[in-house]
């Protein structure tokens, strides 16, 4: 599904230049659950942003389902993103002014799905995440675990092929964290490819494979049994 | 999608009530000001446009070069209208309009109601609405009269006036007129005002044959011309000298006597020509007001942008999330513009409501009777405000917020640092406008105070003017009896009769050729021996007139300005060289018989006018030469004084209507336009500083947010609250000071131009500038210190946690 070859991303400021990704190579197969680990500043988040088409690489190749996307323009990236990719963030990033239902509905609106269809799909996914009873609540009325479940629901409502999770349990206690990891595992078992950045060895153990990064490169891959 | 935007927009606005309130209120106040000022400017620019043939109607005006002087008049010779009609093929029709003094005798009362004499073509040219009567033949006979509704109600109450009669005293004889028509009241926005119309054929009772047919130096009527469709006024103007010049060749060389046409719709705002029936307006004032309106709106819009900048950090995250979920920039632009339009719509509704509620006060301020109607123009104006403000004010969030990159905002990397210069620039702009308005308010106030307090050279307090509205011996008889009755009363200090009182700004102007063949002009008044004393004029040389001294009827008093003009060291005993036999017996200290807009001109005062009228080659006047009685009271209750005057008037004048004016009111009326401007600028500056402070409040929010971590660290390192408040407020003080530096020269230029309209004026003093800057700094400090103190008092643990 994802094939990255010799990817380079350099951040430049007036004073200095930082190489975030340095000739990075990575392949993720359809249906895989990959955890990316490494010390702070090793380029994990940059990698995730490029995978999510939120950022563009300076050089190298990025094939998504066999199509070269490294040079996509903003509109092409936005279109690919809303059709194929779901995001889960450490800090949930729900919109405070929208209810649970409306937050989850948002990707479908941008996808141009009809209202009746939207309702059906949002209810389906809220039910699956067991937060149906909270659909009219606003984010600030929910616990952290519930908020992350809403965020996961929002990430999967458009049935993406790929979910990118950036430290999804980082702001949660262990029991809520475990619940979220269970959810991601379930989604993966149903066929969704997941790439997760994490600092937690415990969370990484839910994945099939751990990619370890250092100084913008992959240094080791652990295959989980 | 739209519903989602609307929902988020509404919820966002409701959630951040303070932000919404400040924004809506600021914009609403700006919109209110804009709507009210629009009513004023619209009225000023709509004068005379209600006539369907307005673009073809012109008024003739006259420019004479005579003995090195230029005389400009919008009042023209009586025979001009038929002359233009006969000689210009482009002229469809003409009508003369002349205000005449004709006391009206009705049911035992005498009314001094203005009577206007017009040609029968009047209604062919103008669209004044005739409710009853015949437009084609409005005056069936020479003794027909047409009334406005107001006049009809005054004379006949609620009954139909058609067929009723009024007795008008014209040319010294009472003549019976029968009502043949009724018009709607003349709109305010008309340069021709009338209540009673009579046919121009009555001119035979007023002017001699000579005046009516060939007196080209004698001006008495306004002449209106309706040009045929497609006629070019410039070409018509160019043709006039060919038939005019031969008629005036005896007195004027070619190019010295010019008749020109002025478009009807230009009359109201063209103050380069003298006043006609209705005084023109200074167009400068509607431009100043329109500028003020735009400035206030701009300040309110800038406010909106500043507050958006202040809140951008919170909105940035939403932008990031939406983009991650697939939103395109175009969609976000529409979302933010939609929100701005929604907010502007709320502000517009509130603004219209406020305008409606404040209309009464504004009418008082502007001395008008504006009505706020939902007409097409007003609706279009409001709609344009909505779109323009919405688009302009929403441009920052729509164009800048929507450009945020999700990677950066989601990582919290979007700093509002980049907005610093932009936000600061906006605040400086707002304060520049506010400071200019404060400086103008104070200076206009000081100039008005100066005008009202300046020693005019005569006593203005406790003085009441009563016009006799009579001429010649009838006036003298009435005045003498009235004064004799009043003098018995201990409250009355003095009473005096004069052709013009101090309340008429503009005495009669006489011109003559002196012994060296130089044409000279002076102002002239006929007074009685009590005038000098009653008005507290100071005789600086010679003596005043003496009661009962027959020799004084051949003597004159002059002012210092006249002595100066002739360059005399010993004026007493001299005569005006050339024309007049009267000897100067006294010189009075200069006094301001005209408004302080003009400098003091030479004055001659005499007991008897006849020799002056006979020997002057030029006589002109703005106010009718009918004697006025000035009564000086000891002070006390003004209403009692009026009651006393009324009672005595009834005794001596019987049925004749009693009229009066307080001298100080009449004098202040000369500065009414300035007074109104002063009041409006005062309100405008209060509004602008109020709205600007809201913007400042918004910017302070942003700055404090941005520096939260810095404040925390400084506190941990030992900074105390006052140091922190000082640090946070210092930048704002610098902004306001910068605004002052920009505002000072602009305000100075504006005021210098405005003060040029006055011959007597204050100097623009530097303390006003300092005061305006100080007020602005203080207000800014008060506004900003709320956030600064809150931030400085915050526990550093919380401050540091935000990073």
Percent of chain B with pLDDT over 90: 45
Q: Which tokens sit at B670? A: 């000369």
Residue B569 tokens read as: 């060291």
Interface check for A11 against chain B (CB to CB < 8 A): the answer is: no
Of B399, B409, B382, the residue nearest B337 (C-alpha): B399
Q: What percent of chain B has pLDDT over 70?
A: 98
Out of A82, A93, A111, name the one closest to residue B317 (CB).
Answer: A93
Interface mutation vs chain B, best among A21, A44, A49, most B CBs within 10 Å: A49
Binary contact (A95, B321; C-beta < 8 A): yes
Task: Determine whether B127 is exposed, middle or buried from the number of CB atoms within 10 Å of its CB (0-12, 13-18, 19+).
Answer: middle
Q: Distance of alpha carbon A187 from its chain centroid, rounded?
A: 12
In terms of CA atoms, which chain B residue is nearest residue A56? B407
Q: Chain A residue with minimal CA distance to B330?
A: A75
- At residue B784, the pLDDT reads 85
CB contact under 8 A, A109 and B15: no
Residue of B nearest to A52 (CA): B324
Cβ-defined contact of B325 to A154 (cutoff 8 Å): yes
Instruction: Verify whether the Cβ–Cβ distance A96 to B15 is below 8 Å.
Output: yes
- Region A68-95: mean pLDDT is 87
Using a CB-CB cut-off of 8 Å, the residues of chain B touching A74 are 328-329
Query: What does the pLDDT average to over B642-662?
Result: 89
CA–CA separation, B344 and B332 (whole Å) = 18
If you average pLDDT over residues B306-310, what whole number do you get?
74
Q: How far apart are the first and last CA of chain A?
A: 22
Nearest CA in chain B to A104: B325
SS (H, E, C) chain A: CEEEEEEEEEEECCCCEEEEEEEEEEEECCCCEEEEECCCCCCHHHHHHHHCCCCCCCEEEEEECCEECCCCCHHHHHHHHHHHEEEECCCCCCCCCCCHHHHHHHHHHHHCCCHHHHHHHHHHHHHHCCCHHHCCCCHHHCCHHHHHHHHHHHHHCCCCCEEEEECCCCCCCHHHHHHHHHHHHHHHHCCCEEEEECCCHHHHCCCCEEEEEECCEEEEEEECC
CB atoms within 10 A of CB B450: 14
Using the CB atoms, write b or e for B20-44: b if 16+ within 10 Å. bebbbbbbbbbbbbbbbbbbbbebb
Chain B nearest-CA distance from A187, in A, is 19
**Cβ of A107 and B325 within 8 Å?**
yes
pLDDT, one tens digit per residue, over B377-399 is 999 999 999 999 999 888 888 88
Partner-chain contact A82 B12, CB within 8 Å: no
Kindly report the CA angle at B103 between B100 and B108, in degrees rounded to 5?
A: 160
Q: How far apart are CA B744 and CA B472, in angstroms?
A: 57
Which run of H or of E encompasses B457?
Answer: none
Cβ–Cβ below 8 Å for A87 and B324: yes
A215-224, B188-197, B211-220, B308-317: which range is least confident on average? B308-317
Interface of B with A (CB under 8 A): 1, 4, 7-8, 11-12, 15, 317-318, 320-329, 331, 405-407, 410-411
CA B563 to chain centre: 36
Measure B351 CA to nearest chain A CA, in Å. Answer: 27
Model confidence over A207-223: pLDDT tens digits?
Answer: 999 999 999 888 877 77
Instruction: List chain A residues with CB under 8 Å of B324.
Output: 52, 54, 81, 87, 93
Domain ranges within chain B, ordered by starting residue: 54-266, 470-658
Query: B509-534, pLDDT tens digit by residue?
Result: 888 888 888 888 899 999 999 999 99
Q: What is the pLDDT of residue B412?
A: 63
CA separation for the pair B31, B348 (Å, rounded): 6
pLDDT digits (tens, 9 = 90+) for B533-580: 999 999 999 999 998 888 898 899 999 999 999 899 999 999 888 878
CA B761/CA B554 separation, integer angstroms: 38
The shortest C-alpha distance from A151 to chain B (Å) reads 11
Rounded to an integer, the average pLDDT of B440-469 is 88
Confidence of residue B417 (pLDDT cuts 50, 70, 90): very low
Q: What is the pLDDT of residue A225?
A: 59
Residue A20 maps to which CATH number?
Answer: 3.40.50.300
A54 vs B4: CB contact, 8 Å cut-off? no
Structure tokens at A123: 């209810």
CB atoms within 10 A of CB B141: 10
pLDDT at position B415 is: 55
Asked if B511 and B618 touch (Cβ cutoff 8 Å), the reply is: yes
Q: What is the pLDDT of residues B601-629, one digit of tens each?
A: 999 999 988 888 888 877 777 788 889 99
* CA trace torsion A92, A97, A99, A100 (10° rounding): -10
Mean of the per-residue pLDDT values of chain A: 90
B747: pLDDT confidence band, cut at 50, 70 and 90? very high
Interface test with B, best of A47, A95, A154 (most B CBs within 10 A): A95
- What secondary structure letter does DSSP report for B180? E
Distance from the Cα of residue A84 to its chain's centroid: 11
Task: Single out the residue of B461, B525, B456, B463 nearest to residue B495, CA to CA.
Answer: B463
- DSSP for B89-123, please give it: TTEEEEEEEEEE---EEETTEEE---EEEE-TTHH
Is pLDDT of A78 > 50?
yes
pLDDT band at A158 (very low <50, low <70, confident <90, very high): confident
Q: Which of A96, A105, A111, A160 to mutate to test the interface with B (most CBs of B within 10 A)?
A: A96
B38 φ, ψ (degrees, to nearest 5): -60, -45
A54 close contact with B: CB closer than 8 A = yes
Residues 6+ away with beta carbon under 8 Å from B759: B596, B597, B598, B599
pLDDT tens per residue across span B212-257? 998 898 888 999 999 999 999 999 999 999 999 999 988 888 889 9
Residues B483-488, mean pLDDT to the nearest whole number: 90
User: In the predicted model, is pLDDT for residue A100 greater than 50?
Assistant: yes
> What integer pLDDT is reported at residue B414 of this predicted model?
57
pLDDT at residue A218, rounded to an integer: 84
Identify which of B8-17, B388-397, B581-590 has the greatest average pLDDT: B581-590
Taking the Cβ of residue A15 and every Cβ of chain B, the question of whether any pair is shorter than 8 Å is answered with no
Residue A68 — pLDDT band, cuts 50, 70, 90? very high
Nearest CA-CA partner of B602 in B613, B612, B593: B593
Q: Which domain holds residue A33?
A: 2-223
How many other CB atoms sit within 10 Å of the CB of residue A24? Answer: 23
Average pLDDT over residues B267-274: 90
- When the pLDDT of each residue in chain B is averaged and rounded to a whole number, the result is 88
Contact between B266 and B54 (Cβ < 8 Å): no
Q: What is the mean pLDDT of residues A166-188?
A: 89
Q: In this predicted structure, what is the pLDDT of residue B787?
A: 82
Residue among A52, A87, A95 whose CB faces B318 most closely: A95
Q: Whole-angstrom Cα distance, residue B255 to residue B132?
A: 46
> Which chain B positions have a beta carbon within 8 Å of A49's beta carbon?
407
Phi, psi values for residue B455, rounded to 5°: -70, 115
Residues of A in contact with B7 (CB under 8 A): 97-98, 102
Per-residue pLDDT reduced to its tens digit, A114-124 = 999 999 999 99
Question: Tokens 């701009």 — which residue?
Answer: B298
Q: Report pLDDT for B799.
A: 66
**pLDDT for B488:** 86
Identity of the residue in A45, A79, A106 whose CB atom sits nearest the CB atom of B325:
A106
> Is A97 within 8 Å of B410 when comparing Cβ atoms?
no
Chain A (82-101) residues lying within 8 Å, Cβ to Cβ, of chain B: 82, 87, 89, 93-98
* Cβ neighbours of A73 in B, within 8 Å: none
Q: How far apart are CA B261 and CA B74, in angstroms?
A: 10
B244 Cβ contact list (under 8 Å, min separation 6): B83, B257, B259
Q: Distances in Å between the alpha carbon of B721 and those of B348, B474, B783?
A: 41, 84, 17
Tell me what the mean pLDDT of segment B291-309 comes to.
83
Total domains, chain A? 1
Q: What is the pLDDT of residues A119-155, one digit of tens each?
A: 999 999 999 888 999 999 999 899 988 998 899 899 9
The distance of A143 to chain B (nearest Cα, Å) reads: 20
């Amino acid at each position: 599904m994802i094939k990255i070859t010799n990817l380079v991303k350099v951040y430049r400021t007036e004073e200095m230049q930082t190489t975030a990704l340095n000739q990075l190579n990575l392949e993720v197969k359809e249906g895989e659950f990959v955890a990316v680990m490494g010390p702070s500043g090793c380029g994990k988040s940059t990698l995730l942003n490029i995978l999510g088409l939120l950022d563009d690489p300076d050089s190298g190749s990025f094939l998504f389902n066999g199509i070269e996307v490294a040079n996509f323009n903003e509109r092409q990236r936005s279109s690919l993103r809303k059709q194929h990719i779901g995001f889960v963030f450490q800090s949930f990033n729900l919109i405070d002014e929208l209810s649970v239902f409306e937050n989850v509905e948002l990707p479908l609106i941008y996808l141009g799905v009809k209202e009746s269809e939207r309702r059906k799909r949002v209810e389906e996914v809220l039910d699956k995440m067991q937060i149906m009873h909270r659909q009219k609540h606003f984010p600030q009325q929910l616990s952290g675990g519930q908020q992350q479940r809403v965020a996961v629901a929002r990430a999967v409502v458009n049935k993406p092929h790929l979910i990118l999770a950036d430290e999804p349990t980082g702001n949660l206690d262990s029991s809520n964290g475990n619940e979220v990891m269970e959810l991601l595992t379930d989604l993966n078992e149903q066929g969704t490819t997941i790439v997760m950045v994490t600092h937690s060895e415990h969370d990484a153990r839910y994945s099939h494979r751990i990619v370890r990064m250092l100084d913008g490169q992959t240094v080791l891959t652990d295959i989980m049994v | 999608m739209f519903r989602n935007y609307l929902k988020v927009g509404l919820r966002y606005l409701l959630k951040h009530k303070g932000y919404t309130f400040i924004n809506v209120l600021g914009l609403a106040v700006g919109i209110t000001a804009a709507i009210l000022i629009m009513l004023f400017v619209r009225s000023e620019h709509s004068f005379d446009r209600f006539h369907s043939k307005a673009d073809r109607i012109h008024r003739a005006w006259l420019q004479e070069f005579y003995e090195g002087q230029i005389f400009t008049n919008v009042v023209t010779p009586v025979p001009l209208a038929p002359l233009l009609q006969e000689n210009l093929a482009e002229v469809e029709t003409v009508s003369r309009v002349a205000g005449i003094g004709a006391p009206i005798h009705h049911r035992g009362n005498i009314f001094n109601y203005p009577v206007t004499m017009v040609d029968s073509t009047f209604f062919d040219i103008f669209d004044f609405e005739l409710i009853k009567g015949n437009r084609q033949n409005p005056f069936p006979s020479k003794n027909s009269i047409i009334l406005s509704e107001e006049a009809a109600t005054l004379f006949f109450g609620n009954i139909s006036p058609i067929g009723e009669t009024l007795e008008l005293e014209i040319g010294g004889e009472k003549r019976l007129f029968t009502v043949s028509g009724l018009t709607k009241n003349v709109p305010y926005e008309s340069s021709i005002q009338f209540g009673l119309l009579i046919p121009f054929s009555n001119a035979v009772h007023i002017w001699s044959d000579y005046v009516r047919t060939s007196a080209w130096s004698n001006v008495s009527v306004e002449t209106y011309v309706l040009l045929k469709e497609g006629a070019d006024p410039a070409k018509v103007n160019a043709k006039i000298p060919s038939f005019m010049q031969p008629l005036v060749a005896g007195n004027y060389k070619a190019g010295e006597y010019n008749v020109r046409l002025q478009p009807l719709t230009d009359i109201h705002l063209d103050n380069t020509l003298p006043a006609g029936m209705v005084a023109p307006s200074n167009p400068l004032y509607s431009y100043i007001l329109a500028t003020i309106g735009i400035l206030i709106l701009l300040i309110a819009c800038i406010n909106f942008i500043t507050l958006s900048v202040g809140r951008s950090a919170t909105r940035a995250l939403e932008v990031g999330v939406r983009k991650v979920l697939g939103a395109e920039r175009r969609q976000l632009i529409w979302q933010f513009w939609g929100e701005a339009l929604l907010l502007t719509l709320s502000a517009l509704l509130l603004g219209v409501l406020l305008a409606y509620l404040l209309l009464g006060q504004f009418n008082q301020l502007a001395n008008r009777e504006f009505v706020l109607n939902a007409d097409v123009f007003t609706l279009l104006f409001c709609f344009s405000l909505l779109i323009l403000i919405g688009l302009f004010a929403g441009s920052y969030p729509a164009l800048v917020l929507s450009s945020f990159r999700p990677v950066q905002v989601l990582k919290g990397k979007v700093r509002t640092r980049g907005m610093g210069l932009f936000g600061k620039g906006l605040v400086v702009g707002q304060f520049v406008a506010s400071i200019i308005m404060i400086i103008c308010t104070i200076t206009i106030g000081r100039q008005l105070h100066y005008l009202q307090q300046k020693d005019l050279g005569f006593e203005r307090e406790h003085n009441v003017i009563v016009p006799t509205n009579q001429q010649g011996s009838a006036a003298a008889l009435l005045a003498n009896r009235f004064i004799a009755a009043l003098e018995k009363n201990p409250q009355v200090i003095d009473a005096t009769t004069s052709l013009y009182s101090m309340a008429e700004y503009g005495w009669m102007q006489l011109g003559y050729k002196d012994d060296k063949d130089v044409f000279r002009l002076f102002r002239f008044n006929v007074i009685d021996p009590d005038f000098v004393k009653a008005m507290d004029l100071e005789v600086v040389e010679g003596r005043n007139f003496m009661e009962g001294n027959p020799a004084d009827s051949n003597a004159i008093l002059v002012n210092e300005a006249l002595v100066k003009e002739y360059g005399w060291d010993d004026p007493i005993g001299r005569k005006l060289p050339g024309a007049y036999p009267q000897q100067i017996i006294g010189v009075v200290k200069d006094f301001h018989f005209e408004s302080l807009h003009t400098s003091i001109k030479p004055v001659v005062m005499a007991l008897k006018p006849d020799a002056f009228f006979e020997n002057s080659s030029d006589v002109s006047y703005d106010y009718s030469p009918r004697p006025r009685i000035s009564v000086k009271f000891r002070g006390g209750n003004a209403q009692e004084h009026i009651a006393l005057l009324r009672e005595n008037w009834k005794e001596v004048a019987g049925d004749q209507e009693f009229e009066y004016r307080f001298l100080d009111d009449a004098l202040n009326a000369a500065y009414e336009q300035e007074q109104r401007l002063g009041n409006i600028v005062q309100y405008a500056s209060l509004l602008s500083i109020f709205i600007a402070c809201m913007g400042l409040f918004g910017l302070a929010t942003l700055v404090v947010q941005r520096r939260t971590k810095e404040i925390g660290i400084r506190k941990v390192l030992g900074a105390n609250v006052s140091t922190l408040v000082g640090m946070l407020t210092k930048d704002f003080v610098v902004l306001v000071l910068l605004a002052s530096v920009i505002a000072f020269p602009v305000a100075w230029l504006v005021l210098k131009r405005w003060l040029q309209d006055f011959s007597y004026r204050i100097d623009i003093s530097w303390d006003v500038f300092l005061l305006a800057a100080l007020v602005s700094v203080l207000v800014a400090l008060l506004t900003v210190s709320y956030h600064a103190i809150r931030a400085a008092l915050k526990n550093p643990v919380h401050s540091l946690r935000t990073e």
